[in-house]
Amino acid sequence: MKFADLHLHTNFSDGTYTPEELTGRAVELGLAAVALTDHDTVEGCARMEAACARAGLEFLPATELTAEVEGNELHLLGYFVDTANPRLLAEMTRFQQVRQNRVREMVARLNQFDIPLQADAVFALANCRSPGRPHVARALVMGGFCSSLDEAFERFLKKHRPAWVPKFKMSGLDAIELIHQAEGLAVMAHPGLNHADEIIPALVRAGLDGLECFHTKHTPSASERYLRLAQELGLLITGGSDCHGLSKGKPLIGTVKVPYEYVEQLKAAIARRKSNASAARSALRTAP
Ligand code: AMP
Ligand code: ZN
Ligand code: FE
Ligand code: FE
């Protein structure tokens, strides 16, 4: 059997591995295909694609966008997006700016709690354009202010804790449209973590293409439930480990194994989309 891991992060967002290191781990694990889904960026895709090509491993370019629907935070995976798409890149630049400002605001709140952390220390440690709470957590641990990442989240960074800062998010419907105009497939990430299954039908009406049925934090019964839902709604099925590297001990890559047939279904869906688009273009050209 061939397997894939379609949810992975590198140090271009809040993972710890470089694209080359992540590819090396995928090769050691014997995976057939991997997708890079860094938060609000596609910057790591070119290096990961090159590393996968050298290693003979199939690569799917992707990203994980933060969005919201009716007050629920929602993560949308965009598979096979064109990583040079101008609108996608422009919107991501905006999200990255929001993330950087949010880090400054979180640090300012920590300073009010007499924690003398500096924003520049977080940015130096993050060393990427798309920093997030995990980087602030790592800086708190490295500075000796917390003894673990869990403690940093529990004491300061979780929702409604003292240094938590709400993040501007685009609407889920706009995120689906952004992924589509960048020629990608829009997939709702880890629905089992959102506890908001009631929003799924509206997302489907907006063109949602798939559901991430397999995820590290899904119980077997949650995976079953989402597999059934995907089948009922005619959605594609994806899954992955959501590996962030070595930040929490053992890396998760390869611990969620997605049968390769689901990758084939994603590729078939993209091929259909492209052939429909080109048929529509030629119909327009031949119209009187
Ligand atoms: P952000 O995008 O800045 O809001 O950060 C979200 C990221 O923080 C998620 O992708 C997780 O990787 C990580 N995260 C969220 N909650 C926790 C937690 N309790 N402990 C460790 N990491 C967490
Ligand atoms: Zn993350
Ligand atoms: Fe996520
Ligand atoms: Fe993720």
Task: Calculate the CA dihedral of residues 192, 158, 252, 103 and round it to 10 degrees.
Answer: 120
Which of ligand 1's atoms lies nearest the C-alpha of 39? Answer: 2
Q: What is the pLDDT of residue 200?
A: 96
pLDDT surpasses 80 at 287: no
Q: What is the pLDDT of residue 284?
A: 84
Sequence letter at residue 238 = T
pLDDT surpasses 80 at 7: yes
pLDDT surpasses 90 at 119: yes
Asked whether 15 lines ligand 1 (CB < 6 A), one says no
Asked whether 61 lines ligand 1 (CB < 6 A), one says no
Asked whether 3 lines ligand 1 (CB < 6 A), one says no
pLDDT surpasses 90 at 74: yes
Q: What is the pLDDT of residue 288?
A: 67
Q: What is the pLDDT of residue 21?
A: 98
pLDDT surpasses 70 at 185: yes
Q: What is the pLDDT of residues 78-90, one digit of tens each?
A: 999 999 999 999 9
Helix, strand, coil proportions of the chain in percent (round to 5)? 50, 15, 35
Distance (Å) of CA 35 to CA 6, 263, 264: 4, 10, 13
Shortest-distance Cα residue to atom 9 of ligand 1: 134
> Of the candidates 178, 185, 209, 243, which has an alpha carbon nearest to the alpha carbon of residue 60?
185
Asked whether 169 lines ligand 1 (CB < 6 A), one says no
Q: What is the pLDDT of residues 175-184, one digit of tens each?
A: 999 999 999 9
Shortest-distance Cα residue to atom 22 of ligand 1: 134
pLDDT surpasses 90 at 275: no
pLDDT surpasses 70 at 144: yes
pTM as predicted: 0.96
